[in-house]
């Protein structure tokens, strides 16, 4: 068996990569069942750049995509331009980059594991194959490879940059390429703008002596990364870009985190208790909140059973990892800790640094913002499997050895079968509304009847409806760039958009019903139940998404 694996490593790796490719591309344009508004925005902005060289607002070659005033990093949009050119503007072309990089990440995982483990830890020469296999079938990685998630792209470049960095340490080559790849993470996803610099500082400290001996070789890499950080740093302190996005999601700008401590401080002061301002100091409150948010990412219920609160982040009744993984993850973590090496420290650095960006934001645990944890979890799980299998092989009773190994295989097969059943059968139905399913059907229908009305009002109830109109109708970017600013202020009103005869805003039934020759598209909660309707659009679960009413 060992000789067979050694001789056929490349063939086995190719098979694993093909499995990962199929799992990521199978029905890619159909499941998830609808494009969410971020995917539609990425796709339309790629379409706009393809046609005009500018984003939807007319900004030429932008370094951040304004989108919904959340200023997305630009790299996903730019990489999506070729797929939109090849396949047209549709769900498949928008998700193509994520699925492709997700498939290639399986290859990177093989070489990354080899660099981290085989040259010092030496668990087994077959560990990289197993780790690549685990990533290929990983619920966490599949979930974000099958939709247009910038975090998945950022993870690919983060893994590749880490591999190249370790390769450089071992061989003294490709240090410039490592710097370039790490720089790309900064323009892939917001979380990596914090994670990547911290990670690079940490691994530089781990290998400080070696880097110091060859400092000239690494100077170029540092210059490249620092040069890439400068625009991000400038953007951070501007009203737009990174600073704007951070202000939307960070725990430091909202009142919710501080409100309970303020109430307690006031109560303590009324009762005359000492140390009130010390115990309820905002710095302590923020530290506790960030610590809790950080530890949320290691919650077994989140990792193995329920996932997080974001319905777009996991399959129905499923965590981010397989339930069977928990046993081997514990074993692998204990073993790796007991055999710690410098390269092993890189593995734990990846695991422990990854949640930092997510920890200072709301809505934790967050598997996208902390997606850089995933490779470390899979490497540790693979180590655990190898350790357990090795111990099983030492049993004198070979019959029991075969039974136990077969049991492990069956448990993984059972976990996988259940996951794919949940993902392909139930998730599109149960979570279809969270994927904004119904918008494609809506705007296809509206396109066919829009000439019959003077105006069409579409509800804002499900957030950002205008982007689906632009996307599914393939609205000419030249035209939209010239007319989007209807108020002439350059500002975006998140709750109101007007594009031609279309208005996108909350429905005010008593006012809107008086507008003549208008088609009103509202959510069920916005339209009185006794009103005759022209048509309905349903969610995959059969519930009503949109009601169409003529005035």
Does the structure show a pLDDT above 60 at 178? yes
Whether 195 contacts 237, CB under 8 Å? no
Q: What is the mean pLDDT of the chain?
A: 91
- Alpha helices by DSSP H, listed for 505-544, are 509-512
Residue 222: per-residue pLDDT: 85
Helix/strand/coil percentages in the chain, nearest 5? 65, 5, 30
Name which of 32-41, 396-405, 534-543 the model is least confident about.
Answer: 396-405
Burial of residue 82 (number of CB atoms within 10 Å: 0-12, 13-18, 19+): middle
Region 520-546: what's the mean pLDDT? 96
* Cβ-based neighbours of 524, under 8 Å, separated by 6 or more: 544, 547
| HEC readout, 355-373 | CHHHHCECCCCCCCCCHHH
367's CB contacts (< 8 A; 6+ apart) are 140, 143, 144, 307, 308, 310, 313, 314, 320
Mean of pLDDT values over 386-400: 92
Strands 497-499 and 455-458: unpaired
Query: With 60 as the cut, is the pLDDT of residue 241 above it?
Result: no
Q: Where are the domains of the chain?
A: 2-250+288-429, 438-550
Q: Residue 524 pLDDT more than 90?
A: yes
Residue 230 pLDDT grade (very low, low, confident, very high; cuts 50, 70, 90): confident
Q: Of residues 129 and 241, which shows the higher confidence score?
A: 129
pLDDT number for residue 292: 94
What's the angle, vertex CA 389, arms to CA 388 and CA 390, rounded to 5? 90
Write out the two tokens for 282: 């905002």
Q: How far apart are CA 65 and CA 71, in angstroms?
A: 5
Task: Say yes or no to pLDDT of 2 above 70.
Answer: no
Sign of CA dihedral 404, 409, 410, 416: positive
> Six-digit token pair at 314?
């996991």
pLDDT-derived band at 8 (thresholds 50, 70, 90) equals confident
In whole angstroms, what is the distance from residue 182 CA to residue 137 CA? 26
**What's the token pair of residue 502?**
């279309």
- The per-residue pLDDT for 237 is 64
pLDDT of 21 > 80? The answer is yes
Q: What percent of the chain has pLDDT over 90?
A: 75
C-alpha span between 228 and 226 (Å, rounded): 5
Which pair of structure tokens corresponds to residue 244?
Answer: 């704007």
Quick one: pLDDT at residue 215? 80
Give the pLDDT band of residue 58 (cuts 50, 70, 90).
very high
Of 402 and 490, the structure prediction assigns the larger pLDDT to 402
Query: Going by DSSP bridges, is the β-strand pair 455-458/502-504 parallel, antiparallel, or unpaired?
Result: parallel
Please report the pLDDT score of residue 247 as a whole number: 60
Q: Give the pLDDT confidence score for residue 334 in this predicted structure.
A: 96
pLDDT: which is higher, 523 or 273: 523
| pLDDT per position as a tens digit, 418-463 | 999 999 999 999 999 999 999 999 999 999 999 999 999 999 999 9
Does residue 240 surpass a pLDDT of 60?
Answer: no
Among 37-51, 278-292, 324-338, the range scoring the smallest mean pLDDT is 278-292
Q: Which two tokens stand for residue 372?
A: 């850089």
What confidence category does residue 3 fall into, taking pLDDT thresholds of 50, 70 and 90? low
To the nearest whole percent, how much of the chain has pLDDT over 70?
93
pLDDT of 218: 82
Give the pLDDT score at 236: 66
* Distance from C-alpha of 117 to C-alpha of 343, rounded to nearest angstrom: 7
**Residues 343, 344, 348: CA angle, nearest 5 degrees:** 120
> In a 3-state reduction of DSSP, which class is residue 300?
helix
pLDDT of residue 444: 97
Confidence class of residue 120 from pLDDT cuts 50, 70 and 90? low
pLDDT at 199: 97
How far is it, in rounded angstroms, from Cα 393 to Cα 405? 9
Residue 260 has pLDDT above 80, yes or no: no
* Strand residue runs (E) in 240-373: none
Q: What is the pLDDT of residue 9?
A: 85
CB 314 within 8 A of CB 307: yes
Distances (CA, A) of 346 to 80, 116, 242: 32, 7, 27
More confident of the two residues 510 and 220: 510
Residue 156's closest CA among 20, 311, 15, 18? 20
**Biggest distance spanned by C-alpha atoms of the chain:** 86
Task: Dig out the tokens for 254 from the structure.
Answer: 């909202």
Q: CA 226, 230, 233, 235 torsion: positive or negative? A: negative
**Residue that wins the pLDDT comparison between 493 and 48:** 48
């Amino acid at each position: 068996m060992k000789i067979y694996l050694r001789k056929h490593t490349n063939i086995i790796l190719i098979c694993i990569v093909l499995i990962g490719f199929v799992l990521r591309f199978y029905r890619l344009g159909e499941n998830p069942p609808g494009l969410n508004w971020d995917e539609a925005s990425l796709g339309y902005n790629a379409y706009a750049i393809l046609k005009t060289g500018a984003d939807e607002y007319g900004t030429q070659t932008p370094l951040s995509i304004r989108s919904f005033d959340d200023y997305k990093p630009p790299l996903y949009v730019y990489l999506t331009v070729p797929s939109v050119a090849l396949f047209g503007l549709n769900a498949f072309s928008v998700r193509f980059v994520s699925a492709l990089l997700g498939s290639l990440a399986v290859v990177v995982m093989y070489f990354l594991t080899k660099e981290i483990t085989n040259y010092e830890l030496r668990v087994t020469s077959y560990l990289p194959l197993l780790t690549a296999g685990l990533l290929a079938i990983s619920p966490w990685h599949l979930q974000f490879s099958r939709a247009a998630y910038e975090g998945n792209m950022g993870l690919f470049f983060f893994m590749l940059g880490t591999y190249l960095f370790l390769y450089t340490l071992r061989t003294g080559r490709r240090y410039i390429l490592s710097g370039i790849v790490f720089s790309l993470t900064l323009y892939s996803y917001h979380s990596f703008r914090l994670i990547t610099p911290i990670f690079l500082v940490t691994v530089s400290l781990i290998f400080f002596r070696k880097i110091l001996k060859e400092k000239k070789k690494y100077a170029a890499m540092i210059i490249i990364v620092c040069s890439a950080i400068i625009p991000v740093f400038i953007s951070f302190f501007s009203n737009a870009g990174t600073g704007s996005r951070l202000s939307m999601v960070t725990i430091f700008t909202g009142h919710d985190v501080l409100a309970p401590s303020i109430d307690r401080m006031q109560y303590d002061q009324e009762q005359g208790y000492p140390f009130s301002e010390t115990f309820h100091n905002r710095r302590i409150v923020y530290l506790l909140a960030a610590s809790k948010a950080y530890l949320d990412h290691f919650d077994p219920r989140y990792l193995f059973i329920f996932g997080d609160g974001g319905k777009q982040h996991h399959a129905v009744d499923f965590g981010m990892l397989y339930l069977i993984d928990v046993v081997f993850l514990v074993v692998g973590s204990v073993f790796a800790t007991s055999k710690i090496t410098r390269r092993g420290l890189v593995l734990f650095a990846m695991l422990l640094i990854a949640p930092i960006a997510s920890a200072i934001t709301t809505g934790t645990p967050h598997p996208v913002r902390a997606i850089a944890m995933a490779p470390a979890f899979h490497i540790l799980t693979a180590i655990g499997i190898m350790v357990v299998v090795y111990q099983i092989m030492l049993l004198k009773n070979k019959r029991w050895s075969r039974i136990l190994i077969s049991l492990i295989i069956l448990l993984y097969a059972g976990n996988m079968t259940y996951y794919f059943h949940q993902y392909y059968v139930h998730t599109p139905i149960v979570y279809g509304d969270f994927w904004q399913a119904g918008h494609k059907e809506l705007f296809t229908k509206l396109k066919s009847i829009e000439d019959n009305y003077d105006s069409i009002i579409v509800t804002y109830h499900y957030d950002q409806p205008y982007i689906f109109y632009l996307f599914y109708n393939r609205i000419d970017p030249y035209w939209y760039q010239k007319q989007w600013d209807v108020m002439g202020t350059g500002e975006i009103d998140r709750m109101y958009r007007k594009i031609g005869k279309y208005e996108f805003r909350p429905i005010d039934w008593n006012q809107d019903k008086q507008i003549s020759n208008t088609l009103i598209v509202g959510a069920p909660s916005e339209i009185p139940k006794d009103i005759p309707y022209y048509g309905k659009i349903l969610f995959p679960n059969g519930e009503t998404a949109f009601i169409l009413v003529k005035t």
